[in-house]
Amino acid sequence: MIDIPKVEAAVWRALATIVDPEMNIDIVALGLIYEVKVHPLAA
Protein backbone atom coordinates (compact mmCIF):
# COMPACT_ATOMS: atom_id res chain seq x y z
CA MET A 1 0.00 0.00 0.00
CA ILE A 2 1.33 3.43 -0.87
CA ASP A 3 1.49 6.34 1.55
CA ILE A 4 -0.68 8.84 -0.36
CA PRO A 5 0.32 11.95 1.67
CA LYS A 6 4.02 11.18 1.08
CA VAL A 7 3.46 10.73 -2.65
CA GLU A 8 1.47 13.98 -2.85
CA ALA A 9 4.27 15.82 -1.02
CA ALA A 10 6.82 14.35 -3.43
CA VAL A 11 4.74 15.51 -6.41
CA TRP A 12 4.53 19.05 -4.96
CA ARG A 13 8.32 19.07 -4.49
CA ALA A 14 8.83 17.88 -8.07
CA LEU A 15 6.44 20.49 -9.47
CA ALA A 16 8.26 23.20 -7.52
CA THR A 17 11.38 22.44 -9.57
CA ILE A 18 9.65 23.50 -12.81
CA VAL A 19 10.44 27.13 -13.52
CA ASP A 20 8.46 29.45 -15.78
CA PRO A 21 11.12 30.63 -18.26
CA GLU A 22 9.65 34.11 -18.67
CA MET A 23 9.20 34.92 -14.98
CA ASN A 24 11.99 32.75 -13.52
CA ILE A 25 9.67 31.56 -10.72
CA ASP A 26 8.53 28.00 -10.11
CA ILE A 27 5.02 27.12 -11.21
CA VAL A 28 3.88 26.27 -7.67
CA ALA A 29 4.91 29.70 -6.34
CA LEU A 30 3.13 31.31 -9.27
CA GLY A 31 -0.07 29.58 -8.22
CA LEU A 32 -0.46 27.65 -11.46
CA ILE A 33 -1.00 24.37 -9.60
CA TYR A 34 -4.12 24.30 -7.45
CA GLU A 35 -4.10 20.78 -6.08
CA VAL A 36 -2.54 17.37 -6.43
CA LYS A 37 -4.63 14.23 -6.13
CA VAL A 38 -3.12 10.78 -5.86
CA HIS A 39 -5.32 7.73 -6.30
CA PRO A 40 -4.11 4.16 -5.92
CA LEU A 41 -4.50 1.99 -8.98
CA ALA A 42 -7.15 -0.69 -8.86
CA ALA A 43 -5.64 -4.13 -8.37
Question: pLDDT, tens digit, for every residue of 11-35?
Answer: 999 999 999 999 999 999 999 999 9
10 Å Cβ neighbour count for 24?
Answer: 7
pLDDT higher than threshold 80 for residue 43 = no
User: Who wins on pLDDT, 3 or 43?
Assistant: 3
**The pLDDT value given to residue 10:** 97
Local structure of residue 41 (DSSP, 8 states) = P
pTM of structure = 0.84
Percent helix, percent strand, percent coil in the chain, to nearest 5: 30, 10, 65
**The pLDDT value given to residue 9:** 97
- Specify whether the CB–CB gap between 27 and 20 falls below 8 A: yes
- Specify whether the CB–CB gap between 33 and 27 falls below 8 A: yes
pLDDT higher than threshold 90 for residue 1 = no
